[in-house]
Amino acid sequence: MLLEQYASNNRWRQVNPAAKGLFSLCGLTAVLIAVNPRVTGFVALVMVATTMLGAGIPLKDYLRVAAPALLFLLASGLTLLVSLRFDAPSGLVLQLAPSELPRAVLVCTRSLGGFTALLFLAFSTPVNDIIALLRRLKLPEVLLDLMVLCHRMLFVLSGAINDMRTAQAARLGNAGMRQSLRSLGILVANLMVQVWQRSLALYYGALTRNNDGALRFLEPEYPDSRTSIVIAALGGSCLMVLALVIS
């Protein structure tokens, strides 16, 4: 849960979530309206620099969080350069398509820009603040409650997995490949039971409240909210104007 740790303890923790959300939204808009890979790549670079220099996120931890998505993006980009031919004399043929390189670069840089924009918001803003912001934007309460419950279950299941792995390691459950596979199977089976029991506990908890009312949290006050919103709007507007002008 490295992402959540930095979201709750970064330099911009006390900045109004509306400002950070606005800047992230402007970054997303910029990469969507841009048709030049250099522009989308520049937006991604700006978002990464803002996250690390502004919010104070170390490069090593940033890459640790972003690595799975970047690997998926790389694999997806490579598939765009491959085409299948069904009319070849030898049947199905898999070949490279160099003509698709500009389109693949644009798609990959656009995806990278959107990902870094969302990662900026995730690194700098806790989920509770994001949910409070979405509530002010009048999103349905049912969706917000589901977000709260899913976010809570991630931490509950992570704690359960760590406890079970610690117990297995204490009994030498990982001594050898065969024993490790057996321990993994036991962990998955027990985790399924844990999910079922905890989901029932959440359901019964909702029944005791008569399912009445949304799940709400105390919202802190943010200093200089108007100033931060204006700065975010100016910075985001510059990105969108750049995307329009260069494109």
Residue type, 117: A
Tell me what pLDDT residue 123 has.
92
Residue type, 193: V
What is the distance of C-alpha 23 from the center of its chain? Answer: 16
Distance CA 236, CA 19 (A): 10
pLDDT along the chain (247 residues), means of 10: 82 90 93 90 93 91 91 87 69 72 88 93 89 86 80 77 80 76 81 78 72 67 85 91 83
Distance CA 83, CA 81 (A): 7
Tell me what pLDDT residue 199 has.
74
Q: Classify burial at 205, counting beta carbons within 10 Å of its beta carbon; exposed 0-12, middle 13-18, buried 19 or more.
A: exposed
Tell me what pLDDT residue 29 has.
93
Tell me what pLDDT residue 214 has.
65
3-class secondary-structure state, position 195: helix
Tell me what pLDDT residue 88 has.
59
